[in-house]
Structure 1
Amino acid sequence: MDSRLRPSEMLCWGTLGSVRPFPNFQPERDVVDLQAALEQKDINSLVRILTNRSSAQRQTLARDYQTHTQKELKAGLKKVLSGDLEALMLGLMMTPEQFEAHRLRLAMAGVGTDEETLLEILCMRTPQQLSDINAVYNAEYKRDLEKDLISETSGDFTKLLVALLKKEYRPGPLEPDVQVLSEELNSKKPTAGPWIQILTSRSPDHLRKVLIDMEAERNRPVAEIIEKRFGGVFSADFRLGLITLLCCIENPHLYLAQRIQNMKGSVLQGVLVSHCEEDLLAVRVAFKTCTGTSLYTTLQKQFKGDLQQALLAICCAED
């Protein structure tokens, strides 16, 4: 293991990540191999090396490569890679915070807004992670993330996104939260405020208990009730946001597994890169449960060549 990595940068082997720190990591040797692979346009070797190193190890390689060659590794990758494989490898070369900030920027750049990617990141990430992502976004793009969210969305949906960005988990009694949200479910004129206030200010564990109590009374998922009852009350984007948030609270790994089922390139890459060192093993289990096929086998069938090699390396193994 590279002694220059801080303990906080080293992934413990007991986590649910599929990508782990490479044993006997030797950055000097990797740098030489990467330089040769770039010169020879040996894409297979580039993929093999970079997908088998942890994020922290790849950051070390980027620094050492620039010191050794006076060139940026990312610039070299851009010259020899293209398309989805280029996007995937460049994503791997970012820090986790940079990658999520990058995804947020892409979701709001150009014509139209990718609301689902905004929701995925803002719903899934902890307050501390979002604080770090926000700081990187502002620094990297010289833009204010909150202002961008406000300019790209509207109404209650904007309020929900901003509340998620600023969420802080504060303790609160269970019964009052259940009562407030239950009253909203039964109301002829429900409002967005209580949903936003409670669902963005309590811990996921607390909110799961709230939803369990609410669903026990109705024998139906709260998200299903909202989708059917509030179609003409809440705007489509706010309804999507509320249902996504509820799904992330109840079963975040199932939500991610369902999100990548269609194998859409940008969505698939986003989830795999974002979660490969955190909880992709749990997403793999959920994927097989809801599709009947392992993620590894699905990737083998859907992709080919160097892109397939890279995706399979991130996925890591068959289930």
Structure 2
Amino acid sequence: MDSEYFNSYNMCWGTLGTVRPFSNFHPDRDVMAIKAALENKDTVTLVRILTNRSNAQRQVIAEAFKASTQKDIVTALKKAVSGDLVLLLVELLIPSVEYEAYRFQEAMAVMYNKDLEKELQGETSGDFAKLVTALLNKDCVAAAVQKDIETLSASLKGKKADAGPWIDILTSRDLDHLNNVLIGLEVELEQTVDQIVEKRFTGDFRLGLKVLVQCIQSPGVYLAKKLQTMKKELVQRIMVSHSEEDLLCIRAAFIKLTGNSLYTALQVGDHLQALLAICRSED
């Protein structure tokens, strides 16, 4: 493991991410090192710096690089580095908010084998489109757990289940609240939420809702299963987007699911160095 990681490790101890803000952060020094690395095609240095800085720090580096060189750092990377590694380094440099939107749209496109924007244009009145639109515009609204349980339960009492409350509640509450709501609903109906959704909804909306429920109830397990496929682009997106949040949880779920550590499973590919640097260590 890189010594720079140990130097910054204590700064954010207690978080569930593997990438933490680098305590001895000097963007000007990083820019100088990156410029030299780009000239010499030194991928080791590029990986060492970009995987040992938080996303916010990478944005500072990108701005400092542009001020110093009058060039965009992403464009410079694409000229100096190729293959899977450059794709990963570029994704590391995307601002967090933009990356989450990009990752969500890519995930939907992969899941349904469709272009998300075209799908929404072609199905603007469908429940699936409403669900995706609500997720894209997700906001957190305070509510009472018991009231939400009652609302979801009532939505299932008609001959046809009402998708509206499911879309509204599952896309506008925080994770802890939603977990309590779904647990309460399971107790009341004596079925798992997955069984409820399977029986009462159909089509793309059912699939989307089941994925959303899995992500709420067991996000680490859900993502560990996705990582198990070892599909290059999917692995890359998960590693980058969860590196500062909960990759330790995903690592724990992965070893429980497969019997092997994620670090061991990643011992392949051209961008091995960067993926292992994000993963950090064996379990």
Amino acid at match of 2:135: L
* Residue of structure 2 equivalent to 1:199: 170
1:175-211 deviation per Cα after TM superposition (whole angstroms, max 9, x unaligned): 4433443355565422312322332343332322222
Deviation by residue 1:18-55 (Cα, 9 ceiling, x = unmatched): 01122422333322221121111122222222212222
Secondary structure of the 2:127 match is helix
Matches within 5 A, 1:5-20: 12-20=12-20
Query: Is the 2:156–2:162 contact (alpha carbons within 8 Å) kept by the matching residues of 1?
Result: no
Q: What TM-score do the two structures reach when normalised by structure 1?
A: 0.75
Q: Could you tell me the TM-score, scaled by structure 2's length?
A: 0.83
- Counterpart position of 2:212: 245
User: In the TM superposition, what are the counterparts of 1:262-273 in structure 2 within 5 Å?
Assistant: 262-273=229-240
The 5 Å alignment of 1:66-77 reads: 66-77=66-77
Please name the residue that 1:46 is paired with.
46
* Cα drift, residue 77 of structure 1: 0.6
* Matches for 1:18-37 after TM superposition, within 5 Å: 18-37=18-37
Identity %: 50
Partner of 1:142: none
Q: In 2, distance between residues paired with 1:101 and 1:166?
A: 10
| Structure 2 Cα separation of the partners of residues 293 and 104 of structure 1 | 28
1:279 aligns to 2:243 (yes or no): no
After superposition, the Cα gap between the structure-2 partners of 1:47 and 1:93, relative to the gap in structure 1 and judged at 3 Å, is: same
Structure-2 separation of matches of 1:117 and 1:93: 27
Distance in 2 separating the partners of 1:215 and 1:104: 28
Q: How does 1:77-88 map to 2 (within 5 A)?
A: 77-88=77-88
The residue aligned with 1:177 is: 148
Indicate the residue corresponding to 2:180 in structure 1: 209
User: C-alpha displacement at 1:100, in angstroms?
Assistant: 2.2
Q: Is the 8 A contact 1:149 1:161 kept in 2?
A: no
Alpha-carbon distance between aligned partners in 2 of 1:200 and 1:213, rounded to the nearest angstrom: 18
Runs of 4+ in 1 over 6 A off after TM superposition: none
2:132 maps to which residue? 161
Match of 1:7 in 2: none
Counterparts of 1:95 and 1:226 in 2: how far apart (Å)? 35
User: Quick one: distance in 1 between partners of 2:113 and 2:240?
Assistant: 14
8 Å CA contact 1:169, 1:201 repeated in 2: yes
Matched residue of 1:313: which SS?
helix
The corresponding residue for 2:6 is none
Partner SS for 1:260: helix
Q: How far apart in 1 are the matches of 2:231 and 2:44?
A: 23
**Residue type matched to 2:77 in 1?**
L
CA distance in 2, matches of 1:275, 1:298: 17
Give the RMSD, CA atoms, in angstroms.
2.8
1:288-307 to 2 correspondences below 5 Å: 288-300=255-267, 303-305=268-270, 307=271
Q: Is the 8 A contact 1:170 1:202 kept in 2?
A: yes
1:65 aligns with: 65
* Alignment gaps of 5+ in structure 2: 1-10
Q: Is the 8 A contact 2:101 2:136 kept in 1?
A: no
The change in CA–CA distance for 1:281 and 1:40 in structure 2 (over 3 A counts) is: same
Separation in 1, partners of 2:252, 2:121: 38
Deviation string, structure 1 residues 266-315 (Cα, Å, up to 9, x no partner):
21111111111112112211222222221111112xx144x111000011
User: Take 1:280 and 1:222, find their aligned partners in 2: how far apart are those partners?
Assistant: 26
> Is the CA contact 2:22–2:52 (under 8 Å) kept in the aligned structure 1?
yes
Distance in 2, Cα, partners of 1:296 & 1:46: 20
Most deviating of 180-189 and 22-31: 180-189
Q: Which is worse superposed, 26-35 or 214-223?
A: 214-223
| Offset at residue 66 of structure 1 (A) | 2.3
Match of 2:193 in 1: 222
For structure 1, the 5+ residue unaligned runs are: 1-10, 119-144
Q: Equivalents in 2 of 1:44, 1:152: separation in Å?
A: 46
Aligned partners of 1:169, 1:28: CA distance in 2, in Å? 38
- Residues 24 and 172 from structure 1, CA distance in 2 versus in 1: closer, same or farther, beyond 3 angstroms? closer
2:274 is equivalent to residue 310 of structure 1: yes
